[in-house]
Structure 1
Amino acid sequence: MTQRDLFSSGFGNEFSSEDPRCPGSLPEGQNNPQVCPYGLYAEQLSGSAFTCPRPANKRSWLYRIIPSVKHKPFTPEPCGNLTENWNEVEPDPNQLRWLPFTIPKSTEKKVDFVAGLHTICGAGDAKSRNGIGIHIYTCNTSMVDRCFNNSDGDFLIGEEKGSIRPIFHTEHPIFYFTITEIVLLFFFQQGMRFSVDVFGETRGYILEVYGAHFELPDLGPIGANGLANPRDFLCPVAWYEDRQVATGYTVINKYQGKLFACQQDFSPFNVVAWHGNYTPYKYNLKTFMVINCVAFDHADPSIFTVLTAKSTRPGVAIADFVIFPPRWGVADHTFRPPYYHRNCMSEFMGLIKGHYEAKEEGFQPGGASLHSMMTPHGPDADCFEKNSSAELKPERVAEGTMAFMFESSYSMAVTKWGLETCQKLDKSYYQCWEPLRSHFNPNWKPSKK
């Protein structure tokens, strides 16, 4: 079986899959027969209201050895630095930047994915299903007989640091990786259980959306081809784990912003067959087809949108996931880096690798920045001076770099951990614009051509 055989492709498609060890385990002709093949239990995982229009209706049928309903009661679990309390500290409208977040040493303390979750900022409310949270995860050990389930919303996970790419075990079931998948995006929709194996110190970013599911953006005048292709989103095929855990298997549930844990005596990854359109995905960011300006001026960052979570207002997103991959810059008579601007969106940026073109110093992989709505931002002074006089030849932009942005229509509140506890806030960030000087010349005359 090849690596590609382990996955089905196509964002939002209707999939069906059964473990090859149990041929015929997927019922034919109906979803919930009186007796399922192999003595399995039928369980539906719904990601939308039953009565949603067909294009927006999300559900999968899972045929499993033991249903997920069998477990001891949930009890409160320490939340650590995971929070939905947006009023811990006073609002801060300043430009904010963080140095790379610290990964705990395994020799000092074992920290798995859940224990390593830290909330940086967010807005809204999980109870009313309206809002987002932005988190960083820093861990050094695998989840052993533990899995995570987010009842509040979708998790979009981008890994930044790891000697070997992590393996995500899911109910659908396992996300493997290949050597060519240098930059990966993992996408777990509301209610999907997963466990994370890591190999050494690992760090990454998470965008959580409470009120909507991520989807591919509309292409408009771009036409049929461009940006992220549906076929490049991969979901795993069925492969079950029939394992009893006498010491207890822990299911951790994020519910209304808090963590809860329950015990059961079997692995939750016991799905033998499944079909539906509600699945986890992985996506290799290298497959993104960049659309860019080829004449003059600087195009809006919306042309780099990989996934969006739409609001009820047309054209306004709860959150967009945007990347800035390697590409060609060819615009004539143009200041090519991002322009100075203020806007009605909040922009959280992270750097997975390389050097971001508008701020080559200070903005580092594993760090982040936040420019809140209507807070001015743009290239630093050095970038402005260099690019104002640069010879405008076709050139590769962001070679060896992958920066991203979580853009939201919400006004973001930063947590106490983000502002104080993490001790990674770069308080000198504002100084990168201090050298900007006036170039105004009232006697300027246009050059003769």
Structure 2
Amino acid sequence: MAYYRKLGSIPKTRHTLMKQENGAIAYEELMGEEGFSSDSSLLYHRHIPSSLVGARIWDLPDQSLTPNAPLIPRHLKLHELFSDEEVVTVDAVTGRRLILGNGDVRLSYAVVGVTSPLYRNGVGDECVYVEAGEAVVETVFGALPVSKGDYVIIPRATTHRWVIPEGGQARLYFIEASSHIGPARQYLSKRGQLMEHAPYCERDLRGPEGTLLVDEQDVDVYIKHRGNGPNGLAGTIHTVPEHPFDVIGWDGCLYPYVFNINDYMPITGKVHQPPPVHQVFEGHNFVICNFVPRKVDYHPQAVAVPYYHSNVDSDEIMFYVDGDYEARKGSGINKGSISIHPGGHAHGPQPGAIEGSLGAEYFDELAVMVDTFRPLDLGAAALATDDGKYASSWTRGRWINE
């Protein structure tokens, strides 16, 4: 995120001695991407950031994956994953359930009712969409209050936790990369500024507003990292002698930030616009798009719903958040649903959707889409919530393999 910010106390010149108010040395840490060759920030700690007093294995939540075979489109009902009784014990780190994944990205879901342990993803950046509820994401850079409609971008190796208010809960959709996640390149200048034709700008991004200091000893930090477990992942719990929220100041271009989907300015046209105009973020081998309430095509004979299309290079994963998605009417898809349209299969509007869209001037729909350029396999959460009917929805339920 090439957009400079500064918070708290920092020295005038980088890599020079800085002392805290009590006269002790402040310990400088460079947090940077791609070695020393990309975006970075400098953080100034009260304590040595590499100190450890213990380490043990963390058994990650189920990371097993099953191929989507035979290849079919699917409908998942995420709101069936968690019971009301479960939610009061679920947190955003140990309680997320894997929906889909490959070597580039993993999609998970959780309905959380308690504050998470401290957590660091050492594999890649995370983009977390807040479907409902409120939380505070506390990080080494400071705190980020988040609520319904927020995308939260958390850079790799950022120590953080999800704080849930007493008696509250939040529905969270996790997009975990094995790379970095940033704004769509098509909307960035060559020096990293969001350009005039982009559907959002830097004014819409919220960063931490102040440093966060906590005095505690012997604190556990849960770390997801590369290893020899399922999907090449492993887990470790580090016990650190001082709480990692000890940063008295930082500056740079790498930090967590928030963007709300309601601040996205949709691009529309005389005829139907393809999905790239809805793009908001991207990672290696995947993109994130959002479909928001908008005026639709204004050609007198425009067909407002998408044309049938083959995902030659992509699996298309649509998470339906709100409204009534026009192209899926009659399929059983509703709020909290996910549709899987795999590469190699043509898909498009349900029977009758084209006719129903003629003359429409406005679509009231809200959805988050992830397109991947390598096939996705099914996690345990997908297997548990597949309705088993979606593949036959274009033929009114006719299915010869029963």
Q: TM-score range by the shorter chain?
A: 0.7 to 0.9
C-alpha distance 72-407 of structure 1, shift in aligned 2 (>3 A): same
Q: Report the structure number with the largest CA radius of gyration.
A: 1
Measure, in 1, the Cα distance between the counterparts of 2:337 and 2:71: 19
Tell me: CA distance 1:108–1:284, structure 2 relative to 1, closer, same or farther (3 Å).
closer
The code of the aligned residue for 1:432 comes to: S
* Correspondence for 1:410: 374
Partner of 2:121: 150
**Residue pair 2:31, 2:43 contacting (<8 A) in 1 also:** yes
Q: Structure 2 regions of 5+ residues with no counterpart?
A: 227-232
Runs of at least 4 residues off by over 6 Å: 220-223
CA distance 1:278–1:206, shift in 2 (3 Å): same
**Count of residue pairs brought into register by the alignment:** 379
Partner of 1:74: 55
What is the match of residue 386 of structure 1? 356
Instruction: Say which of 65, 73, 83 aligns to 1:95.
Output: 73
Letter in 2 for 1:137: A
Partner of residue 28 from structure 1, selected from 12, 23, 38: 12
- CA distance, structure 1, for counterparts of residue 397 and residue 58 of structure 2: 49
Match of 2:229 in 1: none
TM-score, normalised to structure 2's length? 0.87
The one-letter code sitting in structure 1 at the alignment partner of 2:126 is F
* Equivalent residue letter for 2:84: K
Which of 230, 233, 237 does residue 209 from structure 2 map onto?
A: 237
The reply on whether 1:63 has 2:30 as its aligned counterpart is no
Q: Output the CA distance in 2 between the equivalents of 1:107 and 1:426.
A: 22
CA contact (8 A) 1:160 1:365 kept: no
Aligned equivalent of 1:365: 335
Contact kept? 2:122, 2:223, Cα under 8 Å: yes
Residue 62 of structure 1: how far off its partner (Å): 0.6
Instruction: Quote how far apart the aligned CAs of 1:224 are.
Output: 2.1
Map 1:235-314; keep pairs closer than 5 Å. 235-245=207-217, 248-256=218-226, 257-293=233-269, 295-296=270-271, 298-309=272-283, 311=284
Q: Distance in 2 between matches of 1:282 and 1:397?
A: 25
Instruction: Provide the C-alpha distance between the structure 1 equivalents of 2:87 and 2:185, rounded to a whole number of angstroms.
Output: 44
1:170 to 139, 150, 153: 139
Gaps of 5+ in 1: 1-10, 19-24, 125-130, 312-317, 438-449
CA distance in 2, matches of 1:224, 1:206: 29
1:46 aligns with 2:32: yes
- Evaluate the alpha carbon distance shift between residue 72 and residue 91 of structure 1 in structure 2; reply closer, same or farther with a 3 A threshold: farther
The residue that corresponds to 1:321 in the other structure is 288
Tell me the TM-score normalized by structure 1.
Answer: 0.79
Alignment correspondent of 1:441: none
Task: Give, as a single letter, the amino acid of the residue that structure 2 aligns with 1:15.
Answer: R
Aligned to 1:15: 5
Q: CA deviation at 1:35?
A: 4.2
Measure the CA separation in 2 of the matches of 1:64 and 1:92: 53
1:360-406 deviations in whole A, cap 9, x for unaligned? 3522222211111122211111323423xx3x25x2212xx321101
